[in-house]
Amino acid sequence: MVVDSPFTQFVRTPLGGALVIAASVAVTAATLIWVSRRGHADRWSRVVAGGIGAIFVALLNAILGGAGIWHATAYTLPPAVLGSFLLIIAVLLTWMVVFYRWLRRRPHARVVSAVLLAVVAILTVLGDESGLARGYIAFGHGYTVWMDALVAIAIFIVTVLTYEQVKPRKQ
């Protein structure tokens, strides 16, 4: 049985829900302002990639949550709050693509990328272990924290591959 984390409890309050919604609107607006600056039409491909990554996250939650593989009380949050979390995820993935673009032009970019993906996997395992120990999340049907770490890496890879497909090609 899973229980609300202190964060989930706070987000269930009117103040907590309003803050999440306001934060999502603010970071989304700031990102869209940055993207829409004149002379930077190529930035939209980063937003598209971030959006596709967020859709991928939503599908994973719908499929794995619906199949009883992922369990969390966060699934019962109000739809506006859940949608706000998706906006925040889209913005975070957009900025991850911005960082990826910057990183790939640096020496040893592939090594640094591999190390960063390993860090994502390790942080996912640590976060999952903590959430499982406190009863904030649960996994079913033999799903493990290492499988979840692979899913986290897949989210980043899908987002970057999407960017590579939708970015403008040099003429």
Distance in angstroms (rounded) separating the CA atoms of residues 150 and 1: 24
pLDDT tens digit string along 118-134?
Answer: 999 999 999 999 999 99
CA 8 to chain centre: 17
Longest dimension (CA), the chain: 56
- pLDDT category of residue 13 using cuts at 50, 70 and 90: very high
Residue 99 has pLDDT above 50, yes or no: yes
Distance in angstroms (rounded) separating the CA atoms of residues 134 and 128: 10
Distance in angstroms (rounded) separating the CA atoms of residues 84 and 23: 8
Indicate the domain borders of the chain.
Answer: 6-166
Which pLDDT score, from 0 to 100, does residue 171 have?
A: 47
